[in-house]
């Protein structure tokens, strides 16, 4: 199943507009904060699909019944662009275990690239709810590769993949190559990829905008 959040108007649209705006992008602190706030909104939306159990909470005047999440999800992020989005999720799922994956494009002389995964730190994900987040879903290749790498460390009960902006091609690739127990969440979907496989209009390089350009 795929959810595209900007199909329903909300304050989310403001944050998406600001991370796209080339003038506002010059303020890297605001760019990071907006990605964090988007992560919080996505965490809230995903939380509606988790399992809940009624529990008793003792107040100074009595006992209240409250439906609470049965188990906190595991939050996984692709370094480095995913860090600020990850923090937004962690602000809401604040008791979650965390996983971090290093995946990047290794460019070849002919202009093509291969996706390399070189580092993975992962807690137990067996029978857990896993949330895998990365700001951009361009070709979908790195997301599928990262998901498959995580599956070598366990089998989640369900996986939610959260991307802020996806390309229509990348979304189709992910839908084709990921199993049925994966739910895709995107804030917006753009129709075009450039010859260098960047989303257009997109927003540019999320990692560079958040943390500075790479050498």
- What Cα–Cα distance (Å) separates residue 12 from each residue in 9, 18, 178, 207? 8, 10, 27, 20
DSSP state of 25: G
Alpha helices in the chain (DSSP H): 12-20, 28-47, 82-92, 141-151, 168-177, 206-211
Mean per-residue pLDDT, 10-14: 98
172 is written with which tokens? 């189709």
* Between 214 and 205, the higher pLDDT residue: 205
* Between 103 and 65, the higher pLDDT residue: 65
CB 68 within 8 A of CB 55: yes
Q: What is the pLDDT of residue 215?
A: 76
Average pLDDT for the chain: 93
User: How many residues would you count in the chain?
Assistant: 215
Mean per-residue pLDDT, 158-179: 97
CB 123 within 8 A of CB 99: yes
CB 213 within 8 A of CB 190: no
Residue 57 lies in a domain: no
Res. 209 pLDDT band, cuts 50 70 90? very high
Query: Please, what's the b/e burial string for 155-176 (b: 16 or more CB within 10 A of its CB; e: otherwise)?
Result: ebebbbbbbbbbbebbbebbee
Query: 3-12, 71-80, 106-115, 116-125: which range is least confident on average?
Result: 106-115
**How many structural domains are present in the chain?**
1
Mean per-residue pLDDT, 65-89: 94
Mean per-residue pLDDT, 64-73: 96
Residue 61 lies in a domain: no
Residue 80 lies in a domain: yes
Give the domain range for residue 13. 2-48+72-211
Share of the chain above pLDDT 90, in %: 83
Number of H helices, E strands in the chain: 6, 12
Residue 65 lies in a domain: no
Mean per-residue pLDDT, 172-200: 95
DSSP state of 201: S
Query: 8-12, 18-22, 95-99, 194-198: which range is least confident on average?
Result: 194-198
Per-residue pLDDT tens digits for 91-128: 999 999 999 998 766 666 666 666 677 788 999 999 99
Q: What CATH number has the domain bearing residue 182?
A: 3.40.50.2020
The rounded distance, in Å, linking the Cα atoms of 25 and 20 is: 7
Q: What is the pLDDT of residue 105?
A: 64
Residue 129 lies in a domain: yes
Query: 57-66, 101-110, 151-160: which range is least confident on average?
Result: 101-110
Mean per-residue pLDDT, 190-202: 92
Residue 60 lies in a domain: no
Bridge partners, 101 (sequence order)? 78, 120
Q: How many CB atoms lie under 10 A from the CB of residue 120?
A: 16
Residue 106 lies in a domain: yes
């Amino acid at each position: 199943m795929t959810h595209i959040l900007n199909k329903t108007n909300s304050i989310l649209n403001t944050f998406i507009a600001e991370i796209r705006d080339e003038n506002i992008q010059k303020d890297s602190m605001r760019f990071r904060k907006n990605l964090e706030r988007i992560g919080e909104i996505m965490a809230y939306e995903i939380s509606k699909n988790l399992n809940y159990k009624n529990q008793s909470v003792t107040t100074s005047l009595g006992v209240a019944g409250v439906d609470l999440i049965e188990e906190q999800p595991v939050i996984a992020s692709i370094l480095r662009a995913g860090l600020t989005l990850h923090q937004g999720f962690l602000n809401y799922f604040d008791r979650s275990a965390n996983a971090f994956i290093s995946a990047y494009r290794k460019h070849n002389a002919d202009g093509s690239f291969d996706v390399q995964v070189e580092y993975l730190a992962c807690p137990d994900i067996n029978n857990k709810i896993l949330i895998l987040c990365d700001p951009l879903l361009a070709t979908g290749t790195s997301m599928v590769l990262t998901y498959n790498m995580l599956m070598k460390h366990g089998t989640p009960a369900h996986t939610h993949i959260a991307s802020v902006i996806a390309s229509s091609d990348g979304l189709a690739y992910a839908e084709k190559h990921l199993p049925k127990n994966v739910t895709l969440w995107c804030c917006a979907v753009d129709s075009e990829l450039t010859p260098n496989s960047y989303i257009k209009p997109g927003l540019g390089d999320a990692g560079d905008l958040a943390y500075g350009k790479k050498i």
